[in-house]
Amino acid sequence: MRLTGTLMVLGLLASSQIAMAAGTGQVNGSVSLKGHVTNQICTLGTVNANDSIFNVGVLVDTGTGYLSSNLAVPPKILSGSFCNTKSVISIVATPMKAQDVGASAPSGFSQAVDYTATASGWTTTPAAYTTSAAANPGASQIRPTAFSGDITVSLSNFATTGGNTLRLVSDPLYQGIVTITLAASS
């Protein structure tokens, strides 16, 4: 009987210890958060003053009829452009062409103006495209890192298509298009 009693007491102690171990005091928990940013995003910013037209003005020297030698136009700024990864900026442009004239210009005349369009501020070497060039290897430039900032698009090196010895045909609108592309690059 004494032995049995002793065993019972020990049994109770053991049970008590198990119960305490299973639910001792407090409960600790942790919940971990995770997420990722994998979207490769590139966005061209807003063109300044929401004006996407380069207004070059009168193209010719009204005294000679030749292309004016001092053509200039304020640049356009694409504010708030960004890429969150490696990117490629490309620029393509088309000559300014007279919109209301025939298919071909009379002898001694031209009905188009070439120029160089440049996108700077994004890459060390600006992306540039010359409309008269047979090839424009510098029209695409790579930026190896994510970046945010402004892209400045400017026009320069205006030249009469076919040569500056040609006069420009009168036309109320000479128009070209400059296209800038900013793309994520894997």
Contacts with another protein, residue ranges (CB under 8 A): 19-20, 22-41, 43, 82, 84-85, 145-149
* Contact predicate 113/84, CB 8 Å: no
Per DSSP, 67 falls in state B
Nearest distance in Å: CB 134, another protein: 37
Given a contact cutoff of 8 angstroms between Cβ atoms, the answer to whether 117 and 47 are in contact is: no
How far is 83 from 74, CA to CA, in rounded Å?
25
Nearer CB in complex with another protein: 152/156: 152
The strands making up 178-184's β-sheet, listed across from edge to edge, are 140-143, 87-93, 178-184
In terms of DSSP bridges, do strands 167-168 and 147-160 run parallel, antiparallel, or are they unpaired?
Answer: unpaired
Shortest Cβ 186–another protein spacing (Å):
11
Nearer to another protein, 150 or 171 (CB): 150
Q: Least distance in Å: CB of 112 to another protein? A: 39
| Residue closer to another protein (CB basis): 85 or 130 | 85
Residue placing its CB nearer to another protein in the complex, 82 or 109: 82
Tell me the three state secondary structure of residue 22: helix
How remote is the C-alpha of 137 from its chain's centroid?
18
